[in-house]
Chain A
Amino acid sequence: MLKFEHVSKRYPEAGEVLRNINFSLDHGEMAFLTGHSGAGKSTLLRLIAVIERCSRGHIWLDGASVNDAKTGQIPVLRRKIGLIFQDYKLLHDRTVFDNVALPLVIAGYGHQEIGRRVRAALDKVGLLGKENKYPVTLSGGEQQRVGIARAVVNKPPMILADEPTGNLDPELSSEIMKLFEQFQQVGVTILIATHDISLISKMNYRVLKLAQGELTSD
């Protein structure tokens, strides 16, 4: 599903942020990506979502080469990934429904199909009654669940989460994690970047550890 081959990323100002990264995730695999802040977690995720390109090496996503993707193909690649952010990145002038519907609108789905899928996704994250609310009226945990609904509504084969529980208390965090487990069980590949060690240790999944730009343990 996801494969890194000798991937390095160098910034002109900061030098080499990632050095010779090698790993692969199978279809339906769930893994954590950890490391101190500045270890390169976010950069690694940015490379997968083609927000940036790697300086050396090769990245494969769902059989397609990320390196070779032309600018015009990036949107199509990104639709294979459900992105989840620490700050949720919701549109505050739109309802929960419209936020979740956005990926489907972008992908060109019809009205009825959108309604059906959005309600299914909201049902999955337990927010079915809140379609017409605005994100600001929701709690942090609920907002993150809206973010998750938006990430999965298009049924992408892969979910990337960048510190999804960073702003949530432990109880809400484990709820969110349970959601991820449910998606993993239906075959979605999930990579979660987090520095929440206690959370990781409670769950028995593969852990990729980054330190100073290198993958130190797997």
Chain B
Amino acid sequence: MLKAIQGGSKKSPRGGRARPVYPSPSSRPIDNTQTRKAGGRWRDKFNAYLELNRHELFVSLERLVDTPFSSLMTIGVLAAALTLAISFYLVVANLNQLTLGLQSTSQISLFLRDEVQDGHARKLAEKIQLNPDVQQTGMISKAQGMQDFLAYSGFAEAIQALESNPLPIVIQVQPASSATEPRQLEKLLAEFRQYVEVDRVILDMGWAQRLRALIELFEQAVMVLSIFLAAGVLLIIASTIRQELHKRRDEIIICKLIGATDGFIRRPFIFTGFWLGFFSAIMAWFVVAVMVLALKNPIENLSGQYDGNFHVLFLSYPETFIFFIVASTLGVTGSWMILQIQLRQLIPE
């Protein structure tokens, strides 16, 4: 073994190796105090933890305020994305309002084969009537069809020139109000197509239903867009936090060297992400509120002129609350993501 050559320690009675008072209990005051004060009382530790979090929360806010210009720019970009997202959301919510209370006016028309006679057709209509998904059936005979055609089409002379009546018998089916979903209608249509008497089946969707389908499509588009916008928010926050990380690189390395856990290093950046999300939510909320206020009167005037009863909807309290939570969570998630990647690369030199 290697030998010590010093004898300078005043505590070494033999003037040899410097292990004067160890390992008697009084010789390790250092460790003892540490365990007693730091690890012994969990309540003290918990309070210290809360204190630290509160402190860091406001320190990270201060950091944002210290660089007002760049903070505002970042928050502005984030707010723009969030504004777009809630605007779309509100458009969908308001359009949905339009279709509320509108009766479904879907109708199915069964065009029967030429050879089917009126009596047979009537029986078929009665049979269809028994289907629980059918509310009402009606029959248009060949003769009645011709009458209607003559009355409304304006081709009366041309039609009269024909030798026989070319119009088929039509059975009109009004689906039950419980069967207005596209899938249920499809089922009905398939069933009707199986009747030998039926030549063609045509679904005549009501305009309300068409509108609803359109809004549903729009809703889905908005959903996809919102996902992109959320991803954009995450990326903007991640990039902002990354810059901040690089600015404070030395500090992080020093903290790592003196025993900071990744959690400790992460904390202020997570808080920064939270504040960015939170403030951009506030900004977006105000922008949308102003937009809605500006559009409210013109839209309601217009609706009034059509005898409509349309009221412009804005975010309700719960919706506002959820919006703030989502935006802040995006902030936290964005910074957490980039920290997971970057902290591993920040190794002390």
By a beta-carbon cutoff of 8 Å, the part of chain A in contact with chain B is: 22-24, 26-31, 49, 51, 72, 75-79, 83, 89, 91, 102-103, 105-111, 113, 150, 154-157, 181, 184-188, 203-208, 215, 218
Given contacts A108-B45, A184-B18, contact A24 B2 (CB under 8 A): yes
Q: Does B18 contact A204, Cβ atoms closer than 8 Å?
A: no
B27 on the A face (CB < 8 A)? yes
Question: Taking chain B's interface residues, is the majority helix, strand, or loop, or is none over half, making it mixed?
Answer: loop
Given contacts A108-B48, A207-B5, A218-B2, contact A49 B257 (CB under 8 A): yes
By a beta-carbon cutoff of 8 Å, the part of chain B in contact with chain A is: 1-11, 17-23, 27-31, 33-34, 37-38, 44-45, 47-49, 51-52, 250-251, 254-261, 264, 347-349
Complex-state Cα separation, A28 to B348, whole angstroms: 27
Give 21 CB contacts A-B under 8 Å: A23-B2, A24-B2, A26-B19, A26-B22, A27-B22, A27-B23, A28-B18, A28-B19, A28-B20, A29-B4, A31-B4, A51-B347, A75-B256, A77-B259, A106-B259, A106-B261, A106-B264, A155-B34, A186-B29, A187-B29, A205-B18
Given contacts A29-B17, A109-B48, contact A204 B260 (CB under 8 A): no
Contacts of B264 in A (CB 8 A): 75, 106
Cβ distance B12 to chain A, nearest Cβ, rounded Å? 9
Q: Does A157 contact B6, Cβ atoms closer than 8 Å?
A: no
Complex-state Cα separation, A207 to B4, whole angstroms: 8
Cβ distance A189 to chain B, nearest Cβ, rounded Å? 9
Partner of B49, one of A108, A203, A215: A108
Given contacts A30-B6, A206-B5, contact A187 B22 (CB under 8 A): yes
Contacts of A24 in B (CB 8 A): 1-2
A-B contact count (CB 8 A): 136
Complex-state Cα separation, A156 to B44, whole angstroms: 21
Complex-state Cα separation, A122 to B53, whole angstroms: 26
Contacts of A76 in B (CB 8 A): 259
Most buried by B among A31, A75, A154: A75
Partner of A155, one of B30, B258, B347: B30
Complex-state Cα separation, A77 to B37, whole angstroms: 18
- In the A-B complex, the 4 residue pairs with the smallest Cβ-Cβ separation, listed nearest first, are A79-B259, A218-B2, A78-B259, A205-B6
Cβ distance A147 to chain B, nearest Cβ, rounded Å? 10
Closest B residue to A183 by beta carbon equals B30
Q: Does B258 contact A106, Cβ atoms closer than 8 Å?
A: yes
Complex-state Cα separation, A150 to B259, whole angstroms: 12
Closest B residue to A76 by beta carbon equals B259
Q: Does A83 contact B258, Cβ atoms closer than 8 Å?
A: yes
Q: Does A89 contact B19, Cβ atoms closer than 8 Å?
A: no
Q: Does A155 contact B33, Cβ atoms closer than 8 Å?
A: yes
Cβ distance B54 to chain A, nearest Cβ, rounded Å? 11
Q: Does A106 contact B6, Cβ atoms closer than 8 Å?
A: no
Contacts of A113 in B (CB 8 A): 37, 44
Complex-state Cα separation, A29 to B104, whole angstroms: 91
Complex-state Cα separation, A103 to B261, whole angstroms: 11
